Amino acid sequence: MTLRKSIICPACWREFPPGMVKFIATSERFQADPIAGPGEPLRFRAMRFDSLGNALDPGDSRCSGIACPHCHSEFPRVLLELPPMPISIVGAPGSGKTNLLASGLWRMAQRAADLGCSITDPEPRFNTIVHRNEDMLFSADRVDSDVTLPKTDVGGAELYRTVHINGTSEMAPRPAFFVVGIGSEPKSVLVLYDNAGEHFMPGSRIAGSDSATRHLERSVVIIVVFDPLQDRRFRQRFAPHAVGVGMDGHQRQELVFSEAIAKVRRLRSLSPSDPIDIPIIVALTKADVWGMSALGDSWAKVQGASAKALSSSEVLAQLKCVSDAARAAVSSVASEFTNTVKSQASNSWFVPVSALGTSPEMRDGRYVISAGSIRPCWSEMPFVLAMYLAGSRASPSGAVVD
Ligand SMILES: Nc1nc2c(ncn2[C@@H]2O[C@H](COP(=O)(O)OP(=O)(O)O)[C@@H](O)[C@H]2O)c(=O)[nH]1
Ligand SMILES: [Mg+2]
Ligand SMILES: [Zn+2]
């Protein structure tokens, strides 16, 4: 195995040489770790190995799981070899982040070859939430099953774990990990951070927010999820008949965007006035409701369903065209948002997406999503674009050594 010179923990961002990793005990006797918490097996520095090179824990059991020496969060072994490509997803509560992630990754696995890229899951147990959500949406056994995804809980164990370092508690995110590649370029590890949107509400003082959103310090691309249906002006113009959940949500979504960018600047010590150069992808969700009237019926057809894979420049050219049209549509009703994006980010893209292709419908007094009506459209595109834009920006530290 060719190790990287230096590893950055995907949960706490502390840096360490690969030789410092801790192993995770498997013996029944070592089940409470002081940093990772009482329900977590002991993390230890391996001193003894079996003849195959596997670490042995103090009870002589073989161990393969590895963890950060500082916060004791487990991470996939592939991060010892390949550079990380951290991508953050931010957006107001209810804007559609969780559905986009599940639908987009599912579609990406299906369409990667058409789009000239590859995506594989190195260790599915790290991505259980995404896979559970994918299964709910796309593998229901009955067409009328209600496949509404559970709401992401701010303090819930799905996206964060609490660790105890030097007497203080930190909220360590639990990202999803995929090995990705474009064409014949070297592969990297896509590290995706979903968030409970509450962490990005301006002025939010949720305990642990700082450590939970510290991924903004390193992300090479930020996907900003913007739900145009939460904007009354947009709704009146492009979806006057829309009904459903979440339509009276957060009117000022540009503040969520500004808050995230302010955090990026603080964490990276960037000037508060210059635009940042990290690519920003604004994913405009729920396009099944507004796409036709705002963009016409052709945008969703612009995609490489041809027999041969598209080149990166073909994919980018198609996305650029749709991005310009989508930016203009948003600008016609919510120019403060497009202006804010333009003044704060020098490289921004707008991508219409529909994770579900359908709206929740009323059944027995509550809104549900029926499995049989799910038809995603473009949900993979923010991730494909992110990979293309990230390309050479993948975290530079960690030249490869033997
Ligand atoms: N019409 C429509 N509604 C969607 C779509 N994606 C999500 N929603 C709805 O938007 C709401 C919030 O979605 P969710 O992914 O939980 O948002 P999050 O809070 O940002 O993670 C849910 O009621 C979803 O059913 C979509 O593609 N089309
Ligand atoms: Mg969510
Ligand atoms: Zn760590």
Same domain membership, residue 196 and residue 47:
no
Mean pLDDT of the chain: 87
286 Cβ inside 6 Å of ligand 1: yes
Instruction: Give the structural domain span for 340.
Output: 82-393
Going from the Cα of 149 to the center of ligand 2, the distance in angstroms, rounded, reads 9
CB 219, CB 88: distance < 8 Å: yes
Whether residue 311 is contained in a domain is answered as yes
Q: Which of 90, 99, 192, 200 to mutate to test the pocket of ligand 1 (most atoms within 8 A of CB)?
A: 99
Same domain membership, residue 316 and residue 193:
yes
**In the predicted structure, residue 80 carries a pLDDT above the cut 80:** yes
Whether residue 10 is contained in a domain is answered as yes
Q: How far is 100 from 386, CA to CA, in rounded Å?
A: 14
- The total number of structural domains in the chain stands at 2
Q: Measure Cα distances from 140 to 111, 134, 385 in Å.
A: 21, 10, 29
Same domain membership, residue 234 and residue 106:
yes
Stretch 322-339: mean pLDDT: 94
Give the pLDDT confidence of 190-233 residue by residue, as tens digits.
999 987 777 777 666 666 667 778 888 899 999 999 999 988 89
Same domain membership, residue 212 and residue 127:
yes
pTM of the model: 0.91
Nearest residue (by CA) to ligand 1, atom 9, is: 96
Same domain membership, residue 284 and residue 389:
yes
pLDDT at 402: 31
The band of 33, judged by pLDDT with boundaries at 50, 70 and 90, is very high
Give the pLDDT confidence of 331-358 residue by residue, as tens digits.
999 999 999 999 999 999 999 999 999 8
- Domain final position from 18, 49, 77: 77
Going from the Cα of 95 to the center of ligand 2, the distance in angstroms, rounded, reads 8
Same domain membership, residue 155 and residue 127:
yes
Q: Which residue has the tokens 């195959």?
A: 52
Same domain membership, residue 231 and residue 148:
yes
Whether residue 12 is contained in a domain is answered as yes
Give the pLDDT confidence of 108-142 residue by residue, as tens digits.
999 888 888 899 999 999 999 899 999 999 998 88
Same domain membership, residue 149 and residue 33:
no
Whether residue 400 is contained in a domain is answered as no
Whether residue 102 is contained in a domain is answered as yes
CB-based burial, 148-169: b 16+ in 10 Å, e otherwise: bbeebebeeebbbbebebeeee
Going from the Cα of 364 to the center of ligand 1, the distance in angstroms, rounded, reads 20
Q: Which residue has the tokens 């390193």?
A: 218
Same domain membership, residue 25 and residue 119:
no
CB 288, CB 316: distance < 8 Å: no
Same domain membership, residue 142 and residue 91:
yes
- Domain final position from 77, 109, 133: 77
pLDDT at 394: 44
Q: How far is 276 from 261, CA to CA, in rounded Å?
A: 8
230 Cβ inside 6 Å of ligand 1: no
Whether residue 229 is contained in a domain is answered as yes
- Domain final position from 43, 62, 77: 77
Q: How far is 367 from 358, CA to CA, in rounded Å?
A: 12
Whether residue 399 is contained in a domain is answered as no
